[in-house]
């Protein structure tokens, strides 16, 4: 059997002011007619690094058997997409040093760039030659006498890649290596086929819906510039407003000794506004986009991007599918997968969640002889929090196939609730079971029910009040008393094990001094600037 080979790669490709990864999705960039492979820095196993000239790369990669090759790159989604779509080479295993660094050193990194990771690990500094060759083709670079410098720059990058990989691979669990490969393969070997006609129809609907939503909100675009009217419009949609202290208010408070005055976080640079742009309620998206002067909502831009990717010449590169599913390994600080290429294929809205108007999910179909398997871990959040906190009565309700939603609703309203008959009461009970397990108080739960009722087209009439929200939260906490006891136990663990030297088990994780050991072999280590107790207590329950 041929020996398995480890191939470290770093492509250098043509880019200019308009044609670059910052201006277009990765597949649009790679499959664009302007594409040119200038060079590739490569290293096999622990051998010397070398430069493969762009025109020589097909012959170089032909010397490797994909069935016995593992590729390693920094931002492997980019390099392996090039290998697959430009050269027809898909290795047996793909590993990403950037994803490994995020998973193992993310709590220490200011960013996940090659420069930042190399600096943290003491491997040296990344060069700055790339900017010198912006807008230059391969022959231009040679004629300008920059080829030796650019080659040295590329070799340095692949040497840094090798150093990062060798430094981290002993800590990286074997099971995570396979997971990383599968995540990359979702994009590198696309299987989904896009129904472009359906997506184009959806785009028209979304644009029409945006104007309709703003009209229903009762606030004109000009009026949205009023802080008070924008605040009122959001509150009518059940959105809790986040506030901030301005620099001027902080300075005044410091000078006078009085409490700093807060204002709504409605500035373009405020994180709250960024959250509103990707809110699951299209009406909230439309309001935020109008306030910020954006021409489109996230639903609109996402649909446009899917169409642009799906209409690329995939048949020319031998792909079964026309719509890659790009995901980023370890980008979230909890090490969950995150979106890539400026879109998140994990949170495409369902028909119900978009009030029947979104067809993004239905726009994804499969080629002949393939099937889509849909897995839904029913009530998984409620089941997990019950298991972690030891709420045996809630676990028994799930195990005996009872209706926890109706049971909680009966506790809240004081009579036996049949969800087929008492739809509003049942809806409140359902929202309580799914939403109260993570410490939500009455104000948050009040807004939660309002928002979910809008999304699900449920008219609450005048039934839902802050007083009923307070009663509902109290009923949940008294009925499933082990859950708030679990919150308190976690708080005590964080005061002892996290801040001390004991070792405590909480559900599937083990908490030690300054770290949380997960069941997958990775550790969660919040950064120094984070409020550790708040962050850990919320994330371990989510």
My answer on whether 45 and 166 are in the same domain is yes
Give me the number of domains the chain comprises: 4
My answer on whether 76 and 181 are in the same domain is yes
Task: Give backbone dihedrals phi and psi of 189, rounded to 5 degrees, phi first.
Answer: -120, 75
Domain boundary among 445, 480, 515: 480
374 in any annotated domain: no
My answer on whether 323 and 241 are in the same domain is yes
Burial class of residue 110 in the structure, from the number of CB atoms within 10 Å of its CB (0-12 exposed, 13-18 middle, 19+ buried): exposed
Domain boundary among 131, 166, 189: 189
Q: What confidence score (pLDDT) does residue 360 get?
A: 82
Distance CA 273, CA 280 (A): 14
371 in any annotated domain: no
Q: What confidence score (pLDDT) does residue 107 get?
A: 87
My answer on whether 98 and 215 are in the same domain is no
My answer on whether 299 and 401 are in the same domain is no
Distance CA 120, CA 106 (A): 11
pLDDT of 213 over the 90 cut: no
Segment 487-508 shows an average pLDDT of 86
Q: Which residue has the tokens 């070799």?
A: 155
Burial class of residue 304 in the structure, from the number of CB atoms within 10 Å of its CB (0-12 exposed, 13-18 middle, 19+ buried): middle
**Which band of pLDDT confidence, cut at 50, 70 and 90, is reported for residue 356?**
very low
pLDDT of 533 over the 60 cut: no
Distance CA 62, CA 65 (A): 7
Residue 191 CA: distances (Å) to CA of 86, 120, 369, 381: 17, 38, 11, 30
Tell which residue, 443, 463, 434, 461, has the closest CA to residue 240: 443
Residue 103 CA: distances (Å) to CA of 82, 179, 182, 316, 489: 24, 13, 16, 36, 27
My answer on whether 224 and 185 are in the same domain is no
Q: What confidence score (pLDDT) does residue 461 get?
A: 81
Range with the lowest mean pLDDT among 220-229, 284-293, 395-404?
220-229
Range with the lowest mean pLDDT among 251-265, 309-323, 473-487?
251-265
Average pLDDT, the chain: 87
103 in any annotated domain: yes
> Tens digit of pLDDT for each residue in 396-423?
999 999 999 999 999 999 999 999 999 9
Token digits of residue 308 = 């642009």
pLDDT of 136 over the 50 cut: yes
Q: Comparing 283 with 354, which gets the higher pLDDT?
A: 283
Task: Give backbone dihedrals phi and psi of 261, rounded to 5 degrees, phi first.
Answer: -80, 135
Cβ-contact 440, 353 below 8 angstroms: no
375 in any annotated domain: no
My answer on whether 11 and 131 are in the same domain is yes
What pairing do the DSSP bridges indicate for beta strands 509-512 and 515-517? Answer: antiparallel
Q: Comparing 448 with 431, which gets the higher pLDDT?
A: 431
pLDDT of 529 over the 50 cut: no
212 in any annotated domain: yes
DSSP output for 163-230: HHHHHHGGGS-HHHHHHHHHHHHHHHS---EE-HHHHHHHHHHHHHHHHHHHHHTT--TTGGGSHHHH
Q: What percent of the chain has pLDDT over 70?
A: 91
Q: What confidence score (pLDDT) does residue 295 get?
A: 61
User: Helix 466-479 and helix 482-493: axis angle, to 10°?
Assistant: 80
Q: What confidence score (pLDDT) does residue 289 get?
A: 80
Q: Comparing 221 with 502, which gets the higher pLDDT?
A: 502
Token digits of residue 54 = 């762009």
Residue 227's contacts (CB-CB under 8 Å, 6 or more residues apart) are: 263, 264, 266
> Tens digit of pLDDT for each residue in 315-350?
999 888 999 999 999 887 788 898 899 888 887 765
Cβ-contact 316, 331 below 8 angstroms: no
Segment 365-393 shows an average pLDDT of 89
Residue 400 CA: distances (Å) to CA of 23, 403, 449: 54, 9, 27
Q: What confidence score (pLDDT) does residue 244 get?
A: 83
Q: What confidence score (pLDDT) does residue 540 get?
A: 45
My answer on whether 230 and 176 are in the same domain is no
373 in any annotated domain: no
My answer on whether 388 and 527 are in the same domain is no
The DSSP secondary-structure symbol of 308 reads H
Q: What confidence score (pLDDT) does residue 216 get?
A: 65
Q: What confidence score (pLDDT) does residue 71 get?
A: 98
523 in any annotated domain: yes
What pairing do the DSSP bridges indicate for beta strands 93-96 and 193-194? Answer: unpaired
Distance CA 434, CA 17 (A): 48
My answer on whether 180 and 213 are in the same domain is no
Range of the domain at 434: 380-480
Highest mean predicted confidence (pLDDT) among 111-120, 229-238, 449-458 = 111-120
Segment 291-315 shows an average pLDDT of 83
Q: Comparing 451 with 91, which gets the higher pLDDT?
A: 91
My answer on whether 123 and 152 are in the same domain is yes
DSSP alpha helix (H) spans, 237-330: 247-256, 271-277, 282-291, 298-310
My answer on whether 55 and 35 are in the same domain is yes
Please report, for the domain that includes residue 132, its CATH number: 3.30.420.10
519 in any annotated domain: yes
Segment 503-532 shows an average pLDDT of 79
Cβ-contact 344, 187 below 8 angstroms: no
Element holding 181 (H helix, E strand): helix 174-188
Token digits of residue 428 = 């409140």
Q: Comparing 443 with 252, which gets the higher pLDDT?
A: 443
Tell which residue, 156, 139, 146, 198, has the closest CA to residue 323: 198
Domain boundary among 438, 461, 480: 480
Which residues is 6 bridged to in the sheet? Answer: 70
Q: What's the predicted TM-score (pTM) here? A: 0.80
Q: What confidence score (pLDDT) does residue 306 get?
A: 92
């Amino acid at each position: 059997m041929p020996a398995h080979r480890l191939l470290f790669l770093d492509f250098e490709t043509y880019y200019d002011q308009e044609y670059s990864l910052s201006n277009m999705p990765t597949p649009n960039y790679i499959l664009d007619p302007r594409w040119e492979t200038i060079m590739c820095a490569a290293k096999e196993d622990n051998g010397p690094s070398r430069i493969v000239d762009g025109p020589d790369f097909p012959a170089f990669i032909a010397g490797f058997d994909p069935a016995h090759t593992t590729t390693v790159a920094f931002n492997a989604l980019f390099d392996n997409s090039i290998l697959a779509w430009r050269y027809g080479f898909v290795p047996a295993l793909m590993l990403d040093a950037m994803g490994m660094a995020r998973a193992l050193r993310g709590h220490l990194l200011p960013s996940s760039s090659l420069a930042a990771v190399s600096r943290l690990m003491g491997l040296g500094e990344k060069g700055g030659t790339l900017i010198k060759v912006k807008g230059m083709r391969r022959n231009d670079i040679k004629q300008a006498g920059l080829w030796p410098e650019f080659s040295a720059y590329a070799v340095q990058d692949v040497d840094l890649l090798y150093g990062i990989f060798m430094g981290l691979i002993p800590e990286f669990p074997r099971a995570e290596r396979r997971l990383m490969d599968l995540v990359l393969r979702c994009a590198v070997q696309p299987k989904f086929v896009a129904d472009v006609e359906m997506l184009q129809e959806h785009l028209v609907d979304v644009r029409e819906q945006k104007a309709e939503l703003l009209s229903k909100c009762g606030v004109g675009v000009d009026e949205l510039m009023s802080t008070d009217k924008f605040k009122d419009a959001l509150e009518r949609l059940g959105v809790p407003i986040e506030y901030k202290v301005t620099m001027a208010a902080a300075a005044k408070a410091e000078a006078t000794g009085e409490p700093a005055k807060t204002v709504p976080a409605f500035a373009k640079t405020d994180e709250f506004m960024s959250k509103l742009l990707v809110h699951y309620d299209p009406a909230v998206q439309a309001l935020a986009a109008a306030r910020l002067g954006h021409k489109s909502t996230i639903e609109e831009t996402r649909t446009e991007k899917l169409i642009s990717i799906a209409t690329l010449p995939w048949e020319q590169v031998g792909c079964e599918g026309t719509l890659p599913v790009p995901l980023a390994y370890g980008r979230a600080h909890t090490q969950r997968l995150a979106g890539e290429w400026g879109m998140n294929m994990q949170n495409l809205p369902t028909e119900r969640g978009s009030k029947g108007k979104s067809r993004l999910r239905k726009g994804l179909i499969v080629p002949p002889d393939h099937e889509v398997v849909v897995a839904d871990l029913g009530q998984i959040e409620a089941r997990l929090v019950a298991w972690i906190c030891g709420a045996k009565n809630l676990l028994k309700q799930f195990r005996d196939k009872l209706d926890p939603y109706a049971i909680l609703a009966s506790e809240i309203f004081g009579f036996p609730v049949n969800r087929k008959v008492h739809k509003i009461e049942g809806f409140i009970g359902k929202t309580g079971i799914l939403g109260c397990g993570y410490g939500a108080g009455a104000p948050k739960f009040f807004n939660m029910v309002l928002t979910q009722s809008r999304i699900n087209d449920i008219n609450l009439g005048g039934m839902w009040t802050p007083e009923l929200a307070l009663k509902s939260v109290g009923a949940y906490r008294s009925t499933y008393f082990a859950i708030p006891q679990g919150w308190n136990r976690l708080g005590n663990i964080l005061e002892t094990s996290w801040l001390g030297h004991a070792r405590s088990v909480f559900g599937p994780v083990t908490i030690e001094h300054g770290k949380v050991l997960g069941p997958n072999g990775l550790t969660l280590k919040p950064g120094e600037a984070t409020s550790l107790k708040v962050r850990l207590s919320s994330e371990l329950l989510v």
